[in-house]
Amino acid sequence: MLPVSEVENLYYLPNVIEAVAKKQADAQGEEVSGLVRAAKQAGLDALSDSQTLQRLAKKLAKDEVARKLLSEMPDEVGEDEITLTLTTPYPGILQELEQAKQNNDYEAFVRKVPVRDTSFRAQVARALLFLSITRYEKAALLTITENPELAAKLSKDIFGEAGSPEWS
């Protein structure tokens, strides 16, 4: 299981942001810490309004219910009625997201929520002085491939100790 909600989120983990910010700071004559701080704040701002939090919590709750339904699926179906009762995970998920917001926990958001359908990626890319999401993600991939330590850390997060394919 991925350590993030969606595979694209890997590009936005703090260690990737920091590595890209370092290269970008060198190229643009900026301060690394300022770029990192701006990127994280932009990401938090993009996800932190209450409507976005509620929408994300509903999506995550729906996904969790779908997984529970599949896990409760009987091996065989006969003529008897099948009754399943599931408790909604929505309040707990919303509370987790609100706690991440309150704590300004950038990494918790990146790990928990699907950022693809939000302004998160564009805001982070812009804060790191990239013109588009695509340009940022290409730079992130290049940074990962050029940095064996970062690639190994991400591979370990994804695949555990078993190893992984090359980043490319």
The H or E element containing residue 16 is helix 14-28
Question: Is 113 within 8 Å of 48 (Cβ atoms)?
Answer: no
How confident is the prediction along the chain (168 residues), in pLDDT tens digits per residue?
A: 677 888 899 999 999 999 999 999 999 999 999 999 999 999 999 998 889 999 999 999 999 999 999 888 888 888 888 888 889 999 999 999 999 999 999 999 999 999 888 999 999 999 999 999 999 999 999 999 999 999 998 888 877 765 555 544
pTM for this entry: 0.85
Q: Would you say the C-alpha torsion 8, 107, 133, 11 has a positive or negative sign?
A: negative
Question: Is 50 within 8 Å of 71 (Cβ atoms)?
Answer: no
- The contacts of residue 145 (CB under 8 Å, 6+ apart) are 151, 166, 167, 168
What are the phi and psi torsion angles at 8 (to 5°)?
A: -60, -30
Q: What is the pLDDT of residue 109?
A: 93
Radius of gyration of the chain (CA): 19
Instruction: Determine the Cα–Cα distance for residues 96 and 91; give it in Å rounded to an integer.
Output: 9
Question: Is 93 within 8 Å of 60 (Cβ atoms)?
Answer: yes
Q: What is the pLDDT of residue 71?
A: 86
Q: What is the pLDDT of residue 84?
A: 82
Closest CA to 47 of 37, 57, 38: 57
Q: What is the pLDDT of residue 36?
A: 97
